[in-house]
Structure 1
Amino acid sequence: MKKLFLLAILISLSSTKAFCQTDKDDIKKAINTMFDAMRKGDSTLLKSVFADGMVLQGLDTKADGTIVLMNEKPEGFLKAVGTPHKEVYDERITYGDIKVDGALASVWTPYKFYRGAAFSHCGINFFQLMKTPNGWKIIYIVDTRRKDNCPE
């Protein structure tokens, strides 16, 4: 009986870990789709990973050194991506910490942003996602922006 109980616990723990890894892979897929859409200039693909009512913000430093919170409209971002432009919007990220609790996920991604081959800025993206019947959707993004001291 003891062996059966221990076996049941081990199976439960391994399936929980596998489930969590599957979620993390699906979360990365949603975020990667966002950046693929930016590189392609495809606002329809981009919108497919946004939840209705998603919030987009950024922290920026003014010339006097004060930090301001910018509230951006997702529609403006979609329009900027979907409007034809010469340069490819290429945001290169690395995945930091991914935390999942049920239908909520948070993801930390250092990034470097390029317009075409030219470096533009860098910082950290912080994503919040929710699991929906149609997969993981981005509900919130806030980022930092700077031109130096870029994360590796």
Structure 2
Amino acid sequence: MKKHARMNRLRFVLTITSMFFFANSAFSQKYDPTIMSTVNALFDGMREGDSTKVRNAFALGCTMMSVPENPKDSIAIKKSSIEGFVKAVGKPHSEKWDEQIYKVNISVDGPMAIVWAPYKFFLGEKFSHCGVNVFTLIKINNAWKITSITDTRRKEGCL
């Protein structure tokens, strides 16, 4: 009798675990893949030095903020101009700007999406810094556009 009860418990646990796994997998696949296409186009444009490709990823009025590592344990938010960023990407530079994202999480509610992505940034082959990017995207005229980017920046403790 005990062996039968253990088998039933094991079946129950496996069934519940499988349900959570498959439900989570199904949910994570509901987002529109063009959300990541927009984010990837931004990074491709950065690597290629293509300011037009970078500009096309953004909506008009997009905001850009960074929270850099601060040795004084205080928060300093640095606001940047999208236009300044786009121009900087397009200026010739000796090293490729290579921002590599991983462990990406996407949440969507209708025409709005949030992309949370840890990253490592390299100038050519040399590591520069790491952190987390948070992108807010809005679907405008059937195209996902980045409306804001906020990131953290540090040199150590990368995921």
Question: What is the TM-score with the length of structure 1 in the denominator?
Answer: 0.83
* Residue 40 (structure 1) aligns with: 48
* Residue 20 (structure 1) aligns with: 30
- C-alpha offsets along residues 16-54 of structure 1, whole Å, 9 cap, x if unaligned? 979934x1x110000000000000000011000100000
* Residue 87 (structure 1) aligns with: 95
Structure-2 separation of matches of 1:80 and 1:88: 12
- Give the secondary structure class of the aligned counterpart of 1:67: coil
Q: 2:143 aligns with which of 124, 127, 135?
A: 135
Which has the larger Rg?
2
RMSD: 1.8
Structure-2 separation of matches of 1:18 and 1:69: 31
* Residue 98 (structure 1) aligns with: 106
Match status 1:59 vs 2:72: no
Question: Aligned pairs, how many?
Answer: 134
Identity in percent: 45
Structure-2 separation of matches of 1:119 and 1:97: 23
Match status 1:49 vs 2:57: yes
Structure-2 separation of matches of 1:19 and 1:147: 33
Asked if the contact 1:96/1:107 (under 8 Å) is kept, the reply is yes
Question: What is the TM-score with the length of structure 2 in the denominator?
Answer: 0.79
Give the gaps of 5 or more residues in structure 2.
Answer: 1-25
* Residue 122 (structure 2) aligns with: 114
Segment of structure 1 superposing worse, 130-139 or 59-68: 59-68
